[in-house]
Structure 1
Amino acid sequence: MLAFIYARLYGLSMLTSSIDPARLRSVLGHFPSGVAAITALDGDGRPVGMAVSSFTSVSLSPPLVAFLPAKTSSTFPRIAERGTFCVNVLAADQEDVCRTLATPGGDKFAGLSWRPGPHGDPVLDGVAAWIACTIQSVHDAGDHHIVLGRVDDLAADTAAAPLLFFRSRYHHLAA
């Protein structure tokens, strides 16, 4: 009902569409994003992680961030069980870290250096920034979840440039 009210207020159409998912992905790929690694410890104390480009700041007061894992993710349930996570904003030279964490299965942390963050969750070495969070809520969003995290602690390397993702490729900021 609220969506209908907003649509009426702002003159938006409530028509449903049959947008082809491949076309949607292609067009939305024209929006550049940063790349983050969401890390946690599983129930056995082993590090788990996933690469995401769907990470965003939500609120300054209270301090909230969000990321959107696919419902098919085998890693997110292990992060959700923990209740805390660390967002690692990947630096320009960490494309290999992204590729490792984006690959299903195996020991993704075998070749990665990290230290425990405030909740014990992995803070990866060399990241542009890290944000330690507690899961505030998880919302249904089609084939994804929207995970809201309360920011508990954070830090940034002001000299590090971020890794960017644009049109299905990795990029770096120009000097």
Structure 2
Amino acid sequence: MTTLPVGATAGTPMVAASDYRAMMAKFPSGVSVVTAYAPDGTPRGMTCSAVCSVTLEPPTLLACLRNDSPTLAAVLAARAFTVNLLHERARSAAVLFGSGDPGRFDRAEWSRTAMDSGPGLFADAHAVADCHVAAAHRIGSHTVVFGEVQHITLDPTRRPLLYGMREYAAWPLIHL
């Protein structure tokens, strides 16, 4: 086990990026695809594992998107986005939207959502949330986008896709 120094002052990182990456790789998370429409109507989207709940009142979540991402540019221009929480059989969608393939929407099944915030990947998602951008804060190489959830579509028959230790896996059924 590697011991890392404690006591970094604000703005002075005390750990190497590789050590931080190794730590976070061992913290599994759900897998989503964040989508939006560019000003010209072009669909944009990217795989994102940095999504979490912020508050119930008002229902708000956050997603962390790369600063140079066309998806982030579309989200900020539209002031709206969709979070597609992928189900256990949607590994191919996670890989496709993480690849940077410019034709990803030609290769994925998608349709408009109830609020038309961004493309819905209903065949690959166990939940789809339409969001309005409440705030955005740039932190290093990413921007944290806070979205107030306007509409949710759920499929309770599907289990979530997880990503951790550089692998995809289904949510395990463990009865304690």
TM-score by shorter chain over 0.5: yes
Q: Decide which moves more: 13-22 or 25-34.
A: 13-22
Letter of the aligned partner of 1:128 in structure 2? H
Q: Distance in 2 between matches of 1:104 and 1:61?
A: 35
Which position in structure 2 is the counterpart of 1:56? 52
Which position in structure 1 is the counterpart of 2:161? 163
Query: Where in structure 2 are the equivalents of 1:1-150 lying within 5 Å?
Result: 13=7, 15=9, 16-120=12-116, 121-126=118-123, 127-150=125-148
Letter of the aligned partner of 2:55 in structure 1? S
Letter of the aligned partner of 1:160 in structure 2? R
1:66-120 deviation digits (Å, cap 9, x = unpaired): 0001223232112211111110000111111111111124121112112211232
Q: Distance in 1 between matches of 2:172 and 2:57?
A: 33
The answer to whether the Cα contact below 8 Å between 1:84 and 1:119 also exists between their aligned partners in 2 is no
Q: Distance in 2 between matches of 1:53 and 1:130?
A: 15
Q: CA RMSD in A?
A: 1.5
- The count of residues paired between Structure 1 and Structure 2 equals 164
In the TM superposition, residue 142 of structure 1 has moved relative to its aligned partner by 2.0
**DSSP 3-state at the match of 2:70:** coil
Q: Which runs of 5+ in 1 are unaligned?
A: 1-11
The answer to whether the Cα contact below 8 Å between 2:34 and 2:82 also exists between their aligned partners in 1 is yes
**DSSP 3-state at the match of 2:21:** helix
Greater than 6 Å deviation, 4+ residue runs:
none
The answer to whether the Cα contact below 8 Å between 1:95 and 1:170 also exists between their aligned partners in 2 is yes
The answer to whether the Cα contact below 8 Å between 1:129 and 1:157 also exists between their aligned partners in 2 is yes
Q: Which runs of 5+ in 2 are unaligned?
A: 1-5
TM-score where L is the length of structure 2: 0.87
**DSSP 3-state at the match of 2:115:** coil
1:26-84 deviation digits (Å, cap 9, x = unpaired): 11111110000001111121211011000001000011100001223232112211111
